[in-house]
């Protein structure tokens, strides 16, 4: 597209988006300079990526200078939440917390007005989670006998936690281990759940805990068939970790399909996790549309952690907790007990997790720009500001 029309701003914008998400910052810088030379007028969308690059290089004042040259209404609708998020984070970095808070508030209001947001009903997901928790805590349901282990494959380990609690950092570290393969936020469990819904019309706790052996085995086959699409060649010889933070709200389903599975619970100070969710421009889905209102995030956080706690009582879960604040202070000390829990030994290459992050290419979580940085502590106890 550049060769045919070197003045085609839209092609530059799309290239910049891809390069930034792939953490190819040198290529992004080169693309920005080419655009500035080729275009008679540099549109706000390209200025936005120039500011984003400066911010990622920790020049937040210069980034703000660029962002102040145009208004949010001048940028493409699809990038308006990102513009407001970037402005908020730059003000946060220079410790202008009131202005930062105001722009995060504008960002979430902008998201709620978007056409994409209107396609979802936040209350439906929230109500399902609330009802399931009430059922887990109730003593009126009889737990069926455990299912026999299926021959479909080895049980995966599930890495769960509330969003923005360090799951992406932890999965990147674990991915460095020679005997671990982490599958990052793929729909294996959702597809298994969809099969149960299609067969039985619902997948509430009563239905899940009384599923027939046949339906359980069929759901597991669906899970492993989807898993095969995302696993590296020979990956089944390694320990498979299914990393999907909000699967913390799917524990009854997980335990029905994989009664002997283990859970890794990534935990962060509640106020930091909650505030960080509110400060993120998430890719929207039925769950993430609940992350634009602080009160709702608090409620969902409480439901998620109470679901884990009550499930431990009900099902006797094997859970190992990894604390984010400890992980960023001493990686080896925090991960060695986790590896022992998984039956593995510490390997020195885990310290080089940033190399793994760079090699991964696109990372489909809001943490894509953070995990390629050295371990930093300024995200700990951020709520105090």
Domains present along the chain, CATH in parentheses? 9-117 (1.25.40.10), 121-384 (3.40.50.300)
> Is pLDDT of 254 > 70?
yes
Average pLDDT in the chain: 90
- Alpha-carbon gap, residue 197 to 327, rounded angstroms: 38
In this predicted structure, what is the pLDDT of residue 193? 96
| 202-216 pLDDT per residue, tens | 888 989 988 999 999
- Alpha-carbon gap, residue 289 to 296, rounded angstroms: 10
| 38-52 pLDDT per residue, tens | 999 999 999 999 999
Greater confidence, 6 or 289? 289
Q: How many CB atoms lie within 10 A of CB 382?
A: 15
| 271-295 pLDDT per residue, tens | 999 999 999 999 999 999 999 999 9
Closest alpha carbon to 161 in 250, 231, 227, 239: 250
pLDDT bucket at 234, cuts 50 / 70 / 90: low
> Is pLDDT of 154 > 90?
no
In this predicted structure, what is the pLDDT of residue 152? 47
Q: Which residue has the tokens 């956080």?
A: 301
In this predicted structure, what is the pLDDT of residue 376? 53
- Alpha-carbon gap, residue 171 to 326, rounded angstroms: 15
- Alpha-carbon gap, residue 240 to 243, rounded angstroms: 9
> Is pLDDT of 382 > 90?
no
Q: How many CB atoms lie within 10 A of CB 65?
A: 13
pLDDT bucket at 354, cuts 50 / 70 / 90: confident
H/E element, 323? strand 318-323
In this predicted structure, what is the pLDDT of residue 202? 84
In this predicted structure, what is the pLDDT of residue 353? 87
Mean pLDDT of 63-67: 98
pLDDT bucket at 143, cuts 50 / 70 / 90: low
Helix (H), strand (E), coil (C) string for 200-221:
HCCCCHHHHHCCCHHHHHHHHH
**Which phi and psi angles does 270 have, rounded to 5°?**
-50, -40
pLDDT bucket at 232, cuts 50 / 70 / 90: confident
Mean pLDDT of 296-304: 99
| 24-34 pLDDT per residue, tens | 999 999 999 99
* pTM, entire model: 0.88
| 108-129 pLDDT per residue, tens | 999 999 999 999 999 999 999 9
> Is pLDDT of 229 > 80?
yes
> Is pLDDT of 157 > 80?
yes
- Alpha-carbon gap, residue 253 to 74, rounded angstroms: 46
> Is pLDDT of 369 > 60?
no
In this predicted structure, what is the pLDDT of residue 379? 55
């Amino acid at each position: 597209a550049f060769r045919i029309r070197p003045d085609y701003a839209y092609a530059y914008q799309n290239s910049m988006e891809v390069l930034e998400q792939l953490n190819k910052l040198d290529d992004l810088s080169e693309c920005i300079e080419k655009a500035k030379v080729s275009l008679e007028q540099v549109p706000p969308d390209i200025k936005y990526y120039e500011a984003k690059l400066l911010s990622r290089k920790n020049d937040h004042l210069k980034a703000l200078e660029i962002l102040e040259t145009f208004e949010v209404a001048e940028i493409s609708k699809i990038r308006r939440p990102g513009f407001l998020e970037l402005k908020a984070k730059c003000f946060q970095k220079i410790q202008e917390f009131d202005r930062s808070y105001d722009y995060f508030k504008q960002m979430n209001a902008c998201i709620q007005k978007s056409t994409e947001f209107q396609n979802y009903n936040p209350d439906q997901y929230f109500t399902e989670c609330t009802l399931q928790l009430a059922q887990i805590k109730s003593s009126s349901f009889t737990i069926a006998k455990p299912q026999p282990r299926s021959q479909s494959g080895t049980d995966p380990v599930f890495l769960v936690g509330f969003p923005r609690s360090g799951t992406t950092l932890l999965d990147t570290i674990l991915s460095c281990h020679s005997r671990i393969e982490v599958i990052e936020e793929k729909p294996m469990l959702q597809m298994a759940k969809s099969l149960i819904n299609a067969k039985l019309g619902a997948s509430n706790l009563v239905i899940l805990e009384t599923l027939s052996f046949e339906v359980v085995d069929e759901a597991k086959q669906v899970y492993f068939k989807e898993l095969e699409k995302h696993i590296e060649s020979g990956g089944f010889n390694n320990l498979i970790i299914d990393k999907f933070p909000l699967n913390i709200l799917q524990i009854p389903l997980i335990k029905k399909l994989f009664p002997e599975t283990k859970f890794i619970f990534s935990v962060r100070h509640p106020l930091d996790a909650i505030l960080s969710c509110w400060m993120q421009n998430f890719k929207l889905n039925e769950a993430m549309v609940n992350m634009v209102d602080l009160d709702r995030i608090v409620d969902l956080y409480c439901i998620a952690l109470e679901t884990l706690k009550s499930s431990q009582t009900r099902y006797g879960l094997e859970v190992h907790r990894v604390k984010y604040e400890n992980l960023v202070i001493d990686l080896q000390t925090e991960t060695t007990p986790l590896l022992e829990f998984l039956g593995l030994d510490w390997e020195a290459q885990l310290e080089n997790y940033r190399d793994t992050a760079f090699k991964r290419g696109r990372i489909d979580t809001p943490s894509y720009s953070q995990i390629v940085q050295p371990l930093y502590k300024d995200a700990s106890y951020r709520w105090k500001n």
